[in-house]
Structure 1
Amino acid sequence: MAYGHASRTVAYGQRVVALSASDWVRAAARRLAADGVDAVRVEPLARELGVSKGSFYWHFSDRDALLGALLEYWREAGTAGVISQVEDEAGTDPADRLRRLARLVFAHADKGFDGAVRAWAAREGRARDALRAVDDVRVAYLVRLVTDAGAPDADRRAAVLYRTLLGEYAMRHAGADPLDRDAVDALVDWALSR
């Protein structure tokens, strides 16, 4: 389901607010990143958005439906959307695409969303299944780029790139400074070395 197309205007106090399902999903993503999946609740989200719970039920049947939409949003925004952006912007050379991908994802400030989904996946099967599917797609894309660039041992190199990114997100979430562009480029140079 593509979020953001349908909206419903809700009167709240003296103001009128038009919310779409994507507004609820983005608010849920912020709450998940900040406080974990247990904090993704309808009433606090409604207060944050300045609307009644009725707005929520216009778009979702229940909290479980919102959580499913949240996983889909994470999959789309954090994986398919990034891959599409790299494919559209970086040309046909796989080394250029890998460099563009690394610069893009290492420059991205995750704000804890990826880590929060991983914590959720440690306790719930649906989130774990979504996590495995996303990890598989991401790593397969890295393997393809490294392979197409002609570098050996693509599976191992893709795994090191991906796990380095996950570590980078975790360290930044804990307050560490981000890797600089030279360090990211050196990592890509290693992955592409023959």
Structure 2
Amino acid sequence: MTDALIDKTSGWRGTREIWIRAAYEALLENGIDAVKVMPLADRLGLSRTSFYGHFSDRKELLNALVTHWQARNTGNLVRRTEDYAETISEAVLNLFDLWLRPDLFDSRLEFAVRNWAHTDESLAGMLEEADRVRIEALQAMFERFAYDPNYANIRASTIYQTQIGYISMKKDGPDEPLAPRLRRMPYYAEIFTGQKATEAEIARFLARHPLPKMTGSQGVDP
């Protein structure tokens, strides 16, 4: 979601995007109970009336958050499973980009939505459907490389449940340096696929995720 600069002028009512952004931030910080019109208006320095210039009610705002979650997390995951790859190892490394780029897969939002679903039956149903769609997409990725459907389903489920479990343990995102995470990913890919990625495949993956430059004793591990 693009950050919006708030440039207030006389009579300014904000924009739909700014209200959604404020709701998104409130959801991540304090959960769904914090996503209410007056607290958001106070956060933005706008009036309650301004909100209704963009949304009919709070439910419409919540629906916008759900739509954003579906598009970013489910939509991008499905598209990434369909990306071109010459081998299953390359396909899985392509998938791993999601776990390293919040613009592709927002782990903090995923955590917040899963918590929200505990108190919203309708959202719980949408979450269950999202899980189904994502696992089916992962299974189809394995089947594209001639894996038996039963094994493809188990491998898909293992990848998915591993990452969702990781997200559930890391509310505020990874708390470990990037370098060791990147080092482990080729091993994860080998475990998930049963095949070892080539040096060229690993090199292409690492090139997409350059480490920040360090000086002195802060260099990456040897």
TM-score greater than 0.5 by the shorter chain: yes
In the TM superposition, residue 98 of structure 1 has moved relative to its aligned partner by 2.6
Superposed CA offset, 1:13-33 (max 9, x none): x56757432322222122111
Q: Which residue of 2 aligns with 1:125?
A: 121
Which 4+ stretches in 1 moved above 6 angstroms?
none
Q: Which residue of 2 aligns with 1:151?
A: 147
Distance 1:59 1:154, change over 3 A: same
For this pair of structures, how many residues does the alignment match? 183
In the TM superposition, residue 85 of structure 1 has moved relative to its aligned partner by 5.6
Secondary structure class of the residue paired with 2:176: coil
CA distance in 2, matches of 1:18, 1:156: 50
Q: Contact between 2:20 and 2:65, CA under 8 Å: does it hold in 1? A: yes
Task: Tell whether 2:45 aligns with 1:84.
Answer: no
In the TM superposition, residue 180 of structure 1 has moved relative to its aligned partner by 0.7
In the TM superposition, residue 111 of structure 1 has moved relative to its aligned partner by 5.7
Secondary structure class of the residue paired with 2:190: helix
Q: Which residue of 2 aligns with 1:177?
A: 176
Distance 1:72 1:180, change over 3 A: same
In the TM superposition, residue 97 of structure 1 has moved relative to its aligned partner by 3.0
| 1:91-170 → structure 2 map (5 Å cutoff) | 91-93=84-86, 95=88, 96-102=90-96, 104-108=97-101, 110=106, 112-152=108-148, 153-170=151-168
TM score, norm. by length of structure 2: 0.70
Between 1:55-64 and 1:16-25, the stretch displaced more is 16-25
Q: Contact between 2:13 and 2:50, CA under 8 Å: does it hold in 1? A: no
In the TM superposition, residue 142 of structure 1 has moved relative to its aligned partner by 0.9
In the TM superposition, residue 121 of structure 1 has moved relative to its aligned partner by 0.9
| 1:29-44 → structure 2 map (5 Å cutoff) | 29-44=24-39
Distance 1:189 1:108, change over 3 A: same
Distance 1:17 1:79, change over 3 A: farther
CA distance in 2, matches of 1:34, 1:146: 36
CA distance in 2, matches of 1:140, 1:118: 19
CA distance in 2, matches of 1:134, 1:171: 20
Choose between structure 1 and 2 for higher RCO, CA contacts under 8 A separated by at least 6 residues.
1
RMSD in angstroms over aligned alpha carbons? 2.9
Q: Contact between 1:106 and 1:184, CA under 8 Å: does it hold in 2? A: no
| Structure 2 gaps, min length 5 | 196-222
Q: Per residue, is there more strand in 1 or in 2? A: 1
